Structures are given as C-alpha cells and as structure tokens.
Structure 1
Amino acid sequence: MTRVDLEVRHLRVLLAVADEGSITRAAAVLGLSQPSLTAQLQRIERTVGEPVFVRGRTGVRITQFGRGLLSRARAVLREMDHLLVTSLPADRRELAIGDAGLLLAAVVPRLERDLAAAGTAMSIRVHLDPAAAALVAMLRSGRLDTAIISDVIGFELPKTAAVHRVTVVPVEPVFIALAAHHRLAARPAVDLADLADEAWIINPHDNPGWMASVRAACAHRGYQPRIAYESSHMAGARAFVATGTCVAIADPLSTEDPGVVFRPLIGDPIRGRIDLAWVDQCPVPADLLRRVVAEEYRALVERNAGYRRWWAEHGQILV
C-alpha cells in the first residue's frame, strides 16, 4: 500500500477507532471482524509512516502524531459530507431511518400519513439494529438519514460532529422480564437486590452499555449477574424467560406475552435516554421528525399499563 492509496474510507476507519476508543468496538460499528480492522490499521499506519494509536489492554490511546492526523481527517470528512449534501437531488423522495427498539413500528406509518397530508410523496426505508453504535455508524457513512437512538445513561455513546442529536425522552426506565409464575411476579416493582440468585439471558448484539449498566447496578448491590443464556432472537429469549429459568432486561414499551410479565425496578438503577439523531442530508425537517417521535412514544406509553403507571409519576418528554 503506497501513500497515494490512502482513501476517504481509511479516514473513516481511523475516526471510528478514535471515537470508540477500542478496536473491538470500532470493528462492531464498522461491521468488520477485529482481525480485519487490525490489518487495515496496520496498513494505514505503514502508509502514513507513524503509529496513530498505541494499543493497550483497556483500549487504544491516540499518539501525538495521531492527534494531528485525526484533526486533519475530520476536516477532510466534513468537506466530503458537505459535498455529498450539496450534490443530493433537490427532489429526493426517500428517507432512510433506523431504530434500536420498538418505536419505528408506530413512527413510520405516522410519518407517511403526515408527509402525504403535506403533499410530499416519500418512500421510507427502515433499518432495525439493537446496537445504537451501529446506527450512528450508518448515519456517519450516509446509509441512514435519521435514527432513534436508545442510549444508556452513564454509558453514553461518544458524540460525533457529523451527527446531530436532540433528546426526546430524557429518562427511560429498564423493566425486568419475569416468568408469570416467578416468585417476584406478583410485586408491582422489583428490587434488583432480589435478583442476585437469578440466571440472566442477554442479547450479545445489544448496545454493550446496557450490560455494563446492569453489571454496575448489580455490583452496587453486592453481586455480579450470572449470564447463563445468550439470544439475539427476541421470541426465543422470551420463551426462556417464560420457563422461569432466567430473567432479562426489557424495553418498557414492550407488551407482555403469555407466561411473561414486565416489572419496573425500584429506584430505576438502569436507565436509558431516547435521542433523535440525523445528518445534514436528511430530506425531512428535524422538527417534524422530533414531533412525530415524541407523540408516538407517548401514545405507546398509554398502551402499556405497567409503563403508564411508571410514567404518571416519573415520565417526561422534551418537545
């Protein structure tokens, strides 16, 4: 690889590693394997002639040379993004939108109705991914125009200049999924300390901030959660929960299945936040997107009795 082979995609690789602070996390965001990303970094560093990062057991540290290079890379990518925006057709008629949760099922039909009522014919393409970092990466690369980001309070994703974000729901609780016959299911809310002896099932592809928050909250109560099961299939995970062999964290907007109930945690020790994110080339005004997301979120709260009770006391939407 020669110096002239350095391309815009290589600059995005460098910035992903810098923003994530970890080759492992950057590989997940970029959709690459860790060995592939490591090999790319080695080729890039040979090209520029200096190490950009110092690898360590806890992540990567940017070198002094790397700081200067990354500063220039960000400037180049800002110009490239501006070029892409100004070259978009004025009559663009497609919106690419992403979500990490359940909200898009309500937001997309509402957007289609509102846009049609305003005389704007636009198709909407949807991408669902439980990893919020992957949605942000798709926004940065131009594959998405906007996304609903479910972030973890205390373990937030790093901000990036290319992606605008505004908070819609400042605090969203995490509920616990339990078998309907579980010893704690009759309680209106569950103390996290009472789950010390439980096995847990997790989605290995979820935002890693959720599990980090669970571990931190459990450690505060004197134990570490025992991860006995992994499932990226929601129905499969709920089937395991229904047997009573494990518990799981749950989106408060979820509806209960036969055999599974959702209960809030006392004190809300694991909390998230709902943000709307978008990039400059988004063909739909951010104010419209924000209003629709806020209104449809509130409507979903009303359809869920357990969350409705929590919301009556604690809920807030920023409009």
Structure 2
Amino acid sequence: MCAIADTGSVHKAARQLGMTQPSLTTQLRRIEQAVGGPLFNRERTGSRPTPLGRTVLTRARPIVAQMTELIREAKDAAGLGHADPGTRLRLASTGSRAVPGWLRRLHRRLPDTDITFQTDVSANTLLQMVADNQLDAAFVHEVEGAPLRVPDGIRLRVLVRREPQFVAVPATHPAARAGRAVAVAELAGEKWMVDPSVDGDWDGLRRVFAAARIDPRVVYGDYLSAGDLVAAGEVVTPCQPTSQPRPGMSIVPLAGDPLGVRLLVALRAGRRAGIEGDGVVEDLRASYEEVALGSPAYARWLAARRDPGLTVVA
C-alpha cells in the first residue's frame, strides 16, 4: 500500500518491490477484502488513495517503519547487519517541492550513506516517529493557531518562521487575470477544497473564513485530486506558495496573508552524533530557497517584501 501511494502506480510499486504487477494486484485485492473496501482509485494518470485508503495508510506507515527497524535490529543482533548505523539516514516530510532537491544534495554530499525517505500527511505522526527512533529527521509544517503535538525527546529547528499560504484558482478566474493578491472575501462564492487529514489545515482555514465573515461551501478531498478539480473550474484550494501552476490553474497570493505556516525540522534529542554536521538542515534550507525563488508567484511576493525576516529561512 505504501509503495503504491508513494509511486502513484501499481506498475511502479511492483518494480520498486521486486514483484510482478499481477502479484501485487492480487495482494492489494486481498488487503482490500480484509479492510472492507477499495483503497485506491485507478485513474488514467495513476492510482490515488481513496478516503479509506488514506485512513489505512496513516496507520500502515508507522507499522512499516517499525517492522523495517525491527528487522534491522534483529540482523544487527545476529551479526548479519551490513550497514554501519552511522551510514544510515532516515528522513520524512509532510510534502514539499523542496524535498527532491534536499535528497539530491544529500546523496551528492553523502554518497556512502543509505538514505531512506517517506511522506505522510500528518505532521504529528512524523514527530512521534522521530521520538520513537523510527526517523532521524522530519520536515513538517505547523499551521498558525493549530500547534503540533511535540513529544518528549524532540528538538525543533525552525526552517521558515512564517510561510504564507496561497490559493490555487482556475486560470479563467478573475483573480488569476487581475495580477494581484485576492481577498478571501472575493472567493466567498467558490467551493473550497481542503484535505481534513492534514494536521491543522481545516482548523486554519476555518479561522480565515471566520475572520473574513464568510461561510463558503467546503468539499473534502486530497490535494492531489484538488489540482485537477481546480483546473476544471470546480473548486479553489489553499496551497503552498512554492506550488507550480499546471495548465488551467493559477497560483495567487491571498491579500493580507491571513493564512501562514511555520516550517520545522524535527530532530531527536540525543540523536546519533553527526546528523547536524551532515548538513541535513542546511541542505534543506538551500533546496527550499531554490524552489521558492523558482516559483513565479512566490518569487514576486518575496521581492515585494522589504523585511525578508517575514519569510526567509531562519
């Protein structure tokens, strides 16, 4: 399940797992029969988790990580381990366009390190995995007004003090053609799509609506499918400022920047020596700056601010 969700394709997942596609499809059907419903929607562009699938994945990812760690520890205890623990780096993120550049920099600078990576929509889940020694570091976001649950034994490094959240609108929308930031009230008549499984997102958006004194229609879904619906003119949706527009969609700042997040790197207190020396945070900082300046709407927003301390990486 995790492999299909991460690759977006049963075919790619089978290749990653070293299985045939029919074998993986059969295994997936058995899992779906066990949990009582379909876990993925098979679309022309790939496989995407259903609401049930997202729920199961939230519980499955920690189990996979724990099992992987159990096997590694058992092999080490039996003298069968092949990798020095100092050459392993376990990373995760709630999802960001900065991640590919982060991993690219780490692989280039640490060619002998076994780097593993996973994603999860829940920042709180990833923080707990760091605390439980299932991860060495996690890149997460914290929505204003919706503080994360930080377990004991976690150290947080602030990557960005406040990142404004933008909105994705259809390219034909007046807000896209106006070439300016759009007020939330101007979008009161639109259907807003939000993913309620992302920690803090719905709470933050509700506060924005309340402050603007609007009560728009809200639909629930995942942000991957939201992009297709935005392009089709069905919804608008909050998005990261580093998001890249696709055909039929535009990324627009919100006037007054009413919705913001803090970007954090979670490290385990007392973690193995050298993780900071390895430059994990520094490589992420460089990658984030690269995608921020390469995102047209965000680059314009940054250029218009005289006080870079509002958004520049801390």
Conserved in 2, the CA contact under 8 Å of 1:171 and 1:274? yes
Equivalent position amino acid for 2:188 in 1: A
Q: Give per-residue Cα distances to partners, 1:241-286, cap 9 Å, x unaligned.
A: 1121210011111111000111010111000011111113356522
Asked whether 1:158 is paired with 2:149, we answer yes
State the secondary structure of the residue aligned to 1:92: helix
Counterparts of 1:318 and 1:155, CA distance in 2: 21
1:95 to 89, 96, 118: 89
Conserved in 2, the CA contact under 8 Å of 1:217 and 1:269? yes
Q: Which residue of 2 aligns with 1:113?
A: 108
1:290 to 281, 290, 304: 281
Q: Which residue of 2 aligns with 1:216?
A: 207
After superposition, where does 1:139-288 map in structure 2 within 5 Å?
139-187=130-178, 188-207=180-199, 209-228=200-219, 230-232=220-222, 234=224, 236-279=225-268, 280-282=270-272, 284-286=274-276, 288=279
Counterparts of 1:227 and 1:205, CA distance in 2: 14
State the secondary structure of the residue aligned to 1:286: coil
Larger radius of gyration: 1
Q: State the aligned residue count.
A: 232
Equivalent position amino acid for 1:31 in 2: R
Q: Which residue of 1 aligns with 2:59?
A: 31
Conserved in 2, the CA contact under 8 Å of 1:95 and 1:123? yes
Q: Give per-residue Cα distances to partners, 1:15-47, cap 9 Å, x unaligned.
A: xxxxxxxxxxxx999839xxxxxxxxxxxxxxx
State the secondary structure of the residue aligned to 1:186: helix
Counterparts of 1:111 and 1:160, CA distance in 2: 27
Counterparts of 1:251 and 1:126, CA distance in 2: 21
Deviation at 1:317, TM superposition (A): 3.1
Structure 1, unpaired ranges of 5+: 1-26, 33-86
Deviation at 1:204, TM superposition (A): 3.0
Deviation at 1:98, TM superposition (A): 0.6
Counterparts of 1:215 and 1:92, CA distance in 2: 44
Equivalent position amino acid for 2:280 in 1: L
Counterparts of 1:106 and 1:128, CA distance in 2: 15
Identity %: 25
Conserved in 2, the CA contact under 8 Å of 1:294 and 1:317? no
Q: Which residue of 2 aligns with 1:81?
A: none
Conserved in 2, the CA contact under 8 Å of 1:29 and 1:134? no
Conserved in 1, the CA contact under 8 Å of 2:127 and 2:150? no
Conserved in 2, the CA contact under 8 Å of 1:28 and 1:134? no
Counterparts of 1:182 and 1:262, CA distance in 2: 11
**Closer/same/farther in 2, CA of residues 231 and 30 from structure 1, 3 Å limit:** closer
**Closer/same/farther in 2, CA of residues 297 and 205 from structure 1, 3 Å limit:** same
**TM (normalized to structure 1)?**
0.67
Q: Which residue of 2 aligns with 1:61?
A: none
**Closer/same/farther in 2, CA of residues 284 and 202 from structure 1, 3 Å limit:** farther
Counterparts of 1:222 and 1:182, CA distance in 2: 22
**Closer/same/farther in 2, CA of residues 139 and 213 from structure 1, 3 Å limit:** same
Q: Give per-residue Cα distances to partners, 1:189-230, cap 9 Å, x unaligned.
A: 1101111111111223212x12111111111111233212x2
State the secondary structure of the residue aligned to 2:177: coil
Conserved in 2, the CA contact under 8 Å of 1:278 and 1:286? no
Conserved in 1, the CA contact under 8 Å of 2:137 and 2:266? yes
**Closer/same/farther in 2, CA of residues 296 and 282 from structure 1, 3 Å limit:** farther
Conserved in 2, the CA contact under 8 Å of 1:170 and 1:317? yes
